[in-house]
């Protein structure tokens, strides 16, 4: 396509021969039609060139790639023309065949259900061929049909034929939609084929590339699926490990509470001195058999001689109360720690009260030995 080639949209009005004469066909008569860009000369030679381009290799490749036999869409107006104000890009029909006769160019069209309704109900009486033209002598000769547009109102009124929109292609404008044969060598080169390759060569190459792309896509999908499975397995393993660790921490807390309570009782009974309490609790927790260590603690003889029954009972009660308070405090602290751990895993989009409630429930469910029959007055309020 030369930089001075022009793409033109045409429309008819009144009793023009461009009126739709048959429901399943268009007819463009030969003649000379005035245009703002110059005189359009549409004769048998122009029609033959349009059909030759229609039957060229690139056109066949395009139709093959679409999986369609139809070649040119039928729009309302010209939404495919650069600068057009038409926005509806749905095709209401497809031109399937071109035939040059002595009177003009005949085009068969296959309508969609919506397109046939437009024609049968006379919503649009005229149509506008959008085609590429090339300078020929003093006029412009159509060389390639692009689409057909249904219309009633031309934008530029002229006596016999009005033009909806005309755009002249310059060197700085988009020239990607050039006559199909002009880019054939570039397309063959892009396919890795040499000049002179046949249509069968091009189709075979495209089929091979398509198959390779499908295989690559399948392999990538399989790799992505495997990676997703591995990631899910790692996450599940991490969650399981975290649950075990939390359970171990809860059990350790329970043992610590039990050891401190037993040592406090031994101190109250005079079996241990207060100075020995901490080291004895550590010894019990480090023992291989926790239950046996507690039994051994209970078998110890009293080291302190009781001189006042009343005084000793009062002192023992005080120590038991202190030990019970210490145990309750340690239990509350352990619960708070477990709840805080669960709080970190709650949804930050939820309210603070809701997050605290969920964290408490999760910690209580995972660590029943620490929570047991808890005083719900210490449970966070929503």
Q: Does residue 47 sit in the same domain as residue 161?
A: yes
Q: Does residue 279 sit in the same domain as residue 364?
A: yes
| pLDDT score for 298 | 83
Asked if residues 264 and 270 have their Cβ atoms less than 8 Å apart, the reply is: no
pLDDT over 80 (residue 135): yes
Q: Quick one: tokens of 358? A: 């969920």
Find the helix or strand (DSSP H, E) in which 280 lies. Answer: helix 274-286
Q: Is residue 363 part of a domain?
A: yes
At 228 the three-state DSSP class reads helix
Q: Does residue 225 sit in the same domain as residue 124?
A: no
Q: Does residue 46 sit in the same domain as residue 107?
A: yes
Q: Quick one: tokens of 61? A: 């490749």
Q: Is residue 289 part of a domain?
A: yes
Q: Is residue 330 part of a domain?
A: yes
C-alpha 77/C-alpha 74 separation (Å) is 9
Confidence of residue 340 (pLDDT cuts 50, 70, 90): very high
Asked if residues 271 and 299 have their Cβ atoms less than 8 Å apart, the reply is: no
Q: Does residue 134 sit in the same domain as residue 238?
A: no
pLDDT over 80 (residue 56): no
pLDDT over 70 (residue 330): yes
Mean pLDDT of 108-122: 84
C-alpha 8/C-alpha 266 separation (Å) is 106
Across the strands, what pairs with 74?
Answer: 93, 148
Confidence of residue 116 (pLDDT cuts 50, 70, 90): confident
Dihedral angle of Cα 332, 333, 338, 343, to the nearest 10 degrees = 100
267 Cβ neighbours under 8 A, 6+ residues apart:
273, 274, 276, 277, 319, 323
Q: Is residue 258 part of a domain?
A: yes
Domain hosting residue 235, numbered range = 213-378
Asked if residues 156 and 36 have their Cβ atoms less than 8 Å apart, the reply is: yes
Mean pLDDT of 190-213: 79
Asked if residues 10 and 165 have their Cβ atoms less than 8 Å apart, the reply is: no
Q: Does residue 129 sit in the same domain as residue 227?
A: no
| pLDDT score for 371 | 82
Q: Is residue 1 part of a domain?
A: no
Mean pLDDT of 12-18: 41
Q: Model's pTM, two decimal places?
A: 0.41
C-alpha 103/C-alpha 71 separation (Å) is 22
Backbone torsions φ then ψ of 100, nearest 5 degrees: -90, 125
Q: Does residue 240 sit in the same domain as residue 363?
A: yes
Mean pLDDT of 354-368: 91
* Least confident range of 59-63, 165-169, 190-194, 341-345: 165-169
Q: Name the domain boundary from 168, 202, 236.
A: 168
| pLDDT score for 341 | 92
260 Cβ neighbours under 8 A, 6+ residues apart:
281, 323, 326, 327, 330
- In the chain, the percentage of residues whose pLDDT exceeds 70 is 74
What total number of domains does the chain contain? Answer: 2
> What is the chain's mean pLDDT, rounded?
76
The more confident residue out of 180 and 241 is: 241
C-alpha 181/C-alpha 49 separation (Å) is 11
Q: Name the domain boundary from 114, 145, 168.
A: 168
54 closest CA partner among 96, 88, 113: 96
pLDDT over 70 (residue 182): no
Q: Is residue 188 part of a domain?
A: no
Q: Quick one: tokens of 38? A: 């110059």
Q: Does residue 219 sit in the same domain as residue 156?
A: no
What is the tens place of the pLDDT at every residue in 144-156?
888 888 887 643 2
Q: Does residue 131 sit in the same domain as residue 253?
A: no
At 39 the three-state DSSP class reads strand
Q: Is residue 147 part of a domain?
A: yes
Q: Is residue 174 part of a domain?
A: no
C-alpha 351/C-alpha 360 separation (Å) is 14
Q: Does residue 241 sit in the same domain as residue 360?
A: yes
Helix-, strand-, coil-residue percentages of the chain, each rounded to 5: 50, 20, 30
Mean pLDDT of 161-189: 47
Q: Quick one: tokens of 229? A: 């499975």
Q: Does residue 28 sit in the same domain as residue 129?
A: yes
Angle at 159 between CA 158 and CA 163, to 5 degrees: 35
Q: Name the domain boundary from 143, 168, 193.
A: 168
| pLDDT score for 14 | 39
Mean pLDDT of 204-215: 83
Across the strands, what pairs with 12?
Answer: 161
252 closest CA partner among 286, 218, 223: 286
pLDDT over 70 (residue 140): yes
């Amino acid at each position: 396509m030369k930089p001075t080639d022009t793409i033109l949209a045409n429309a008819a009005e009144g009793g023009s021969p461009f009126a739709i004469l048959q429901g399943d066909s268009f007819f463009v008569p030969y003649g000379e039609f005035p245009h703002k860009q110059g005189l359009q000369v549409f004769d048998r030679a122009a029609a033959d060139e349009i059909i030759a381009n229609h039957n060229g290799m690139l056109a066949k490749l395009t139709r093959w790639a679409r999986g369609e036999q139809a070649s040119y869409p039928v729009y309302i107006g010209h939404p495919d023309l650069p600068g057009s104000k038409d926005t509806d890009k749905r095709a209401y029909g497809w031109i399937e065949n071109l035939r040059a006769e002595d009177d003009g160019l005949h085009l068969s069209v296959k309508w969609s259900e919506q397109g046939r309704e437009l024609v049968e109900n006379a919503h649009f009486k005229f149509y506008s061929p959008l085609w590429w033209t090339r300078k020929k002598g003093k006029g412009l000769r159509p060389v390639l049909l692009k689409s057909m547009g249904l219309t009633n109102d031309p934008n530029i009124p002229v006596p016999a034929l009005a033009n909806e929109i005309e755009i002249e292609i310059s060197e700085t404008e988009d020239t990607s939609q050039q006559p199909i044969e002009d880019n054939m060598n570039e397309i063959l080169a892009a396919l890795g084929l040499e000049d002179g390759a046949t249509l069968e060569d091009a189709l075979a190459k495209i089929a091979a590339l398509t198959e390779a792309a499908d295989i690559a896509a399948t392999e990538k999908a399989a790799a992505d699926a495997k990676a997703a499975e591995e990631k899910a397995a790692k996450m599940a393993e991490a969650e399981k490990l975290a649950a075990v660790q939390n359970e171990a921490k809860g059990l350790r807390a329970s043992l610590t509470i039990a050891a401190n309570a037993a040592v406090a009782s031994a101190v109250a009974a005079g079996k241990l001195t207060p100075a020995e309490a901490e080291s004895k609790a550590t010894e019990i927790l480090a023992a291989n058999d926790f239950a046996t260590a507690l039994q051994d603690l209970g078998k110890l003889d009293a080291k302190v001689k009781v001189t006042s029954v009343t005084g000793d009972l009062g002192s023992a009660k005080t120590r038991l109360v202190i030990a019970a308070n210490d145990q309750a405090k340690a239990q509350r602290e352990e619960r708070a720690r477990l709840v805080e751990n669960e709080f970190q895993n709650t949804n930050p989009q939820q309210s603070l009260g809701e997050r605290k409630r969920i964290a408490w429930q999760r910690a209580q469910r995972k660590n029943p030995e620490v929570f047991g029959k808890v005083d719900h007055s210490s449970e966070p309020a929503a």
